[in-house]
Amino acid sequence: MEAHFNLAAYTLLYLTVMISLISLWKNNLLIKKLSFWFAALAFASLTLALIQRSIASGRLPFATMYEFTFLFAWGILFFILLLKIKFSSEVLTAIGALLAIIIISYGSTLPSDIRPLMPALQSIWLEFHVVTAIIAYGAFGLSCCLGILYLIKEKVGSKGLGQSLPPLTKLDSVMHWSVAIGFPFMTLVLITGAVWAEEVWGRWWSWDPKETWALITWFIYAGYLHARKTYGWQGRTAAIMAIVGFLVVLFTLFGVSLLLPGAHSYV
């Protein structure tokens, strides 16, 4: 069942990308609507897959890298869809769906067997830690997509592709909005992780590579918020910082697990 829902989500995401691109040269309201609804359906399938897995394993799907990869894609889609309350953009939907496709494709190469929780993972802090991470990384994923939109808009102006994009100031302020959501949750990720590490190992901070890179992520977004506030670093610089910030998130999640072994390597 889970595999079917995942496949449905995957297919729907491809359709989302295609329809969104079609809507760029066929300016038709129905196609625009379809782009959003395909993304929403993909999100729903992914949700069902995760629920199915929770039922099958008798616990929340928070324990393996496979599971977290799907949660990560889920969080990004959640924020992409949530952005509808600010404005709707098919280019954004396409970029978000593409990002989700890449993440899910990578996730599908990971071992997917359902494993019981090892003793170190049996903690309420696992739940807090993962939930806050989904929110923080989802919001950062959105701000990265918006950063890309910003650079596109800046390049093409209001011609062609740029026509369908909101003005630069709007893109910048919404990007700030999503970083300002992600940042407090990233803070929570670090705190819940520290408290958990203290409970399980007796060391709330041990400079393990994953911890270190999460802290670097936090520094980067703190830099984003401060530079904006005090120097008015907006626009292009901010967009680049949002993109770099998310690349660091990706490295923390995948790069560190692959390249830098540490205490976190079981997730």
Partner 1 sequence: MNDKQFHVRPEGKGILRSLSSMKTGLLLLLLLSAVSSLGSLIPQGEQVSFYRAHYGELLGNFLLLLSFDKLYSSWWFILLGGIFACNILLCSMQRVKNAKDLRSVGSVLLHFSILVVFAGSLLSGMVGKSAYIEIGAADTADLSAIGFPGYHLTVKDFKIDYYDTWEPKQYTSSLGLLDAKGSRIVDEISVNHPLKAEGLTIYQNSYGWLTKGRVMGEKGDQSFELINGEELKLAHGLTLKILFVPDFDPHSGNLQSKTPLPNNPHIACALIKGEQLVDVQIISQGETKKIEDVTVAFDGYRYYTGLEVKKDPGVKVVYGGFFLMLLGLACRYLTPRRGQK
Among residues 22, 31, 194, 263, the one that binds partner 1 under rule CB under 8 A: 194
Q: How many residues bind ligand HEM (CB under 6 A)?
A: 6
* Using rule CB under 6 A, residue 33 touches ligand HEM: no
Which among 160, 138, 136, 162 has a CA at the least distance from the CA of 149?
A: 162
Scanning 26-34, 72-80, 166-174, 221-229 for contacts with ligand HEM by CB under 6 A, the matching segment is 221-229
Nearer to ligand HEM by C-beta: 148 or 190? 190
Q: What ranges in the chain are assigned the alpha helix state H?
A: 2-25, 29-57, 65-82, 90-108, 124-156, 168-200, 209-231, 235-250, 256-259
3-state secondary structure (DSSP) of residue 135: helix
Please give the Cα distance from 223 to 247 (Å, whole number).
15
Structure tokens at 93: 């939907």
Nearer to partner 1 by C-beta: 82 or 152? 82
Please give the Cα distance from 13 to 96 (Å, whole number).
9
Nearer to ligand HEM by C-beta: 44 or 225? 225
The binder of 127, among partner 1, ligand HEM, none, by C-beta within 5 to 8 A per type, is: none
3-state secondary structure (DSSP) of residue 202: coil
* Using rule CB under 8 A, residue 169 touches partner 1: no
Give 138-164 as a DSSP string.
Answer: HHHHHHHHHHHHHHHHHHHTTSGGGGG
Among residues 33, 105, 199, 258, the one that binds partner 1 under rule CB under 8 A: 199
| Residues from 219 through 248 that contact partner 1 (CB under 8 A) | 219-220, 222-223, 226-227, 229-232
Residues near partner 1, by CB under 8 A: 115-116, 118-120, 122-123, 180, 184, 187-188, 191, 194-195, 198-202, 204-205, 207, 209, 212-213, 215-216, 219-220, 222-223, 226-227, 229-232, 256, 260
